[in-house]
Structure formats: structure tokens, C-alpha cells
Amino acid sequence: NAGVTQTPKFQVLKTGQSMTLQCAQDMNHEYMSWYRQDPGMGLRLIHYSVGAGITDQGEVPNGYNVSRSTTEDFPLRLLSAAPSQTSVYFCASTETWGKRETQYFGPGTRLLVL
């Protein structure tokens, strides 16, 4: 299994540009989520999905869109990039096994918005 993969690893955008951060998992997990990580702060939930066709907002959803057309893929779209969106973005999927949960994180995407 490749686990959770994210592309690109690094990206520089100009203010106002749009882009899509890709996330895929090959573990057949229903629950997937996107987080951003900023210095001195904990990971914050942007959007999440409990299965194909179902998405919902997290703590900091403004400026981001998601879709979940398949179980495997969960792309995050920045509609019009702003410097405040400079961050490290992590995609994760969750394995649920009875009452046990294990989080699997992608390697992250470092985004700089100028």
C-alpha cells in the first residue's frame, strides 16, 4: 500500500491564483480530512468527508473547496489564493476498526502565497 499520498510537495502561488492540492489513499478508508498547520498552532481542520459524495466544513473552511467523487481521492481547491493561506497542508485518512481509530497522514504540501 502507498498509504496517503499528496501532490505537490511544494508550491508557490501569487495572490489570486487558484490551485488544487491532490490527496489519495489506497486503504479504502471512508473518513478523510484536510488540515493546515501554522507555526505555534495545532493542526486545524479545513474540510472532511465521511465517504464518497459527502463532505462537510471543519474549523477553518473559508477560501477552500473540496469534493469526494471516489473513496480514494479527496482534492482540496484554493479558489483565489491569499497570503493568509501560506501554510503546510496535511491530508489524512482514518481507519476505524470497532472502537479503534488510527490516523494516517500524507507527507504534507508546503504552500507559499506571495
Partner 1 sequence: KNEVEQSPQNLTAQEGEFITINCSYSVGISALHWLQQHPGGGIVSLFMLSSGKKKHGRLIATINIQEKHSSLHITASHPRDSAVYICAVAQYGNKLVFGAGTILRVKS
Instruction: Name the residues that contact partner 1, by CB under 8 A.
Output: 31, 33, 35, 40-45, 48, 50, 58, 88, 90, 92, 94, 96, 99-105, 107-108
Nearer Cβ to partner 1, position 14 or 97?
97
Q: Are 104 and 6 in contact (CB under 8 A)?
A: no
**Whose Cβ is closer to partner 1: residue 50's or residue 82's?**
50
Residue 41, phi then psi, degrees to nearest 5: -120, 155
Name the grid cell of 16: 489570486
In the complex, minimum distance from the CB of residue 16 to partner 1, in angstroms, rounded to a whole number: 27
Cis amide leading into 8 (omega within 30): yes
**Residue in this structure with the C-alpha cell 476498526, named with its chain if needed:** 97
Of the pair 9, 14, the CB lying nearest partner 1 is at 9
CB of 9 to partner 1, least distance (A): 10
Question: Which residues touch 99 (CB under 8 Å, ≥6 apart)?
Answer: none
CB nearer to partner 1: pick between 30 and 72: 30
